[in-house]
Amino acid sequence: MNILWSRCLVIVALLLLAGPGHGAEEEAARSLRILVFGATGKVGTYVVDEALQRGHVVTAVSRDPASIQKQHQNLAAVRGDLLDVDSIASLAAGQDVIIISVRGIIGKSKNPENALQRIAVEKVVDVLREIGDAAPRLIHVGGAGSLEVRPGVLYADTIPKLFLPKNIELEIQGQILALEYLRAVTNVEWSYATPAKDFTNGERTGVFRIGGDTALEDTRGRSRISRADFAVALIDEAENAAHVRERFSVAY
């Protein structure tokens, strides 16, 4: 009986010594440092929440950090400017993944080349090239307008311009240009994530499909995804790097 009891004590001691420490090391190994541009936006807020929920360390970027109300031990709210290469470089250093989820047109331009999303992608890529082998991966949130609804025909081409505000049309074209630009980039690890046509405020289910250039539809002909589930797909990509130098789309 004494020998059996002694062996039990030894096993318990080993578990106490090895178990928690090993688990902590595994958790630290899985944790990513994620920089989110557009953290206060309709997609960015879900991305920040999803990343924190999974134990990642998030730097949320805004022109007004005070607008980021969320409090979390793994969250830092900072000021940043996607039009300023020095600002991007200072924030990118030491990160594992950069997620860009922004939109807008610079000034009163009527040229899609001046869409914030297109300019931002180019400036971030320039910074990542300068960093070199230690550069974080880039995940850019694109628009559904760049998806094909049939071979050679983009969803953007099927939207009646009569009912489309000019600024939205320019933003859609800016996202298409951003994708075209990224597809020519071979020395930076990037991914272009595209939501379905219908972006909803539905709940997080964690159940969706991953596609490519063609707009995915369900059995009822609907192309949709909730922002919460789209954020799940983005953090999945951050963790798994399954679509490096590729566009991927997300839909139910």
Predicted structure pTM score: 0.88
Q: Where are the beta strands (DSSP E) in the chain?
A: 33-37, 57-62, 75-79, 97-100, 137-141, 148-150, 153-154, 190-195, 198-200, 209-211, 224-226, 246-251
Report pLDDT for 10. Answer: 38
Residue 52 — pLDDT band, cuts 50, 70, 90?
very high
Number of domains in the chain: 1
Q: Are 127 and 188 in contact (CB under 8 A)?
A: no
Q: How far apart are CA 141 and CA 68, in angstroms?
A: 20
Domain harbouring 236, CATH code: 3.40.50.720
19 within domain boundaries: no
Helices (H) and strands (E) in the chain, counts: 7, 12
Question: How far, in Å, are 39, 74, 116, 135, 222 from residue 49 at the CA level?
Answer: 10, 11, 24, 24, 27
26 within domain boundaries: no
* For range 132-142, the mean pLDDT: 97
Range scoring the smallest mean pLDDT among 15-19, 135-139, 204-208: 15-19
Q: How far apart are CA 105 and CA 111, in angstroms?
A: 9
The token duo for 106 is 């610079």
129 within domain boundaries: yes
| pLDDT one-digit tens code per residue, 64-121 | 899 998 999 999 999 999 999 999 999 999 999 999 999 998 888 889 999 999 999 9
17 within domain boundaries: no
Sequence-ordered list of residues with C-beta below 8 angstroms from that of 159, at least 6 positions apart, any chain? 145, 172
| pLDDT one-digit tens code per residue, 215-235 | 999 999 999 999 999 999 999
3 within domain boundaries: no
24 within domain boundaries: no
Q: Considering the chain, what is the average pLDDT of its residues?
A: 89
Domain of 175 in residue numbering reads as 31-251
Q: How far apart are CA 118 and CA 180, in angstroms?
A: 10
216: DSSP letter: P
Percentage above 70 pLDDT, the chain: 88
* For range 19-30, the mean pLDDT: 46
Q: How far apart are CA 24 and CA 152, in angstroms?
A: 50
16 within domain boundaries: no
* For range 14-33, the mean pLDDT: 51
2 within domain boundaries: no
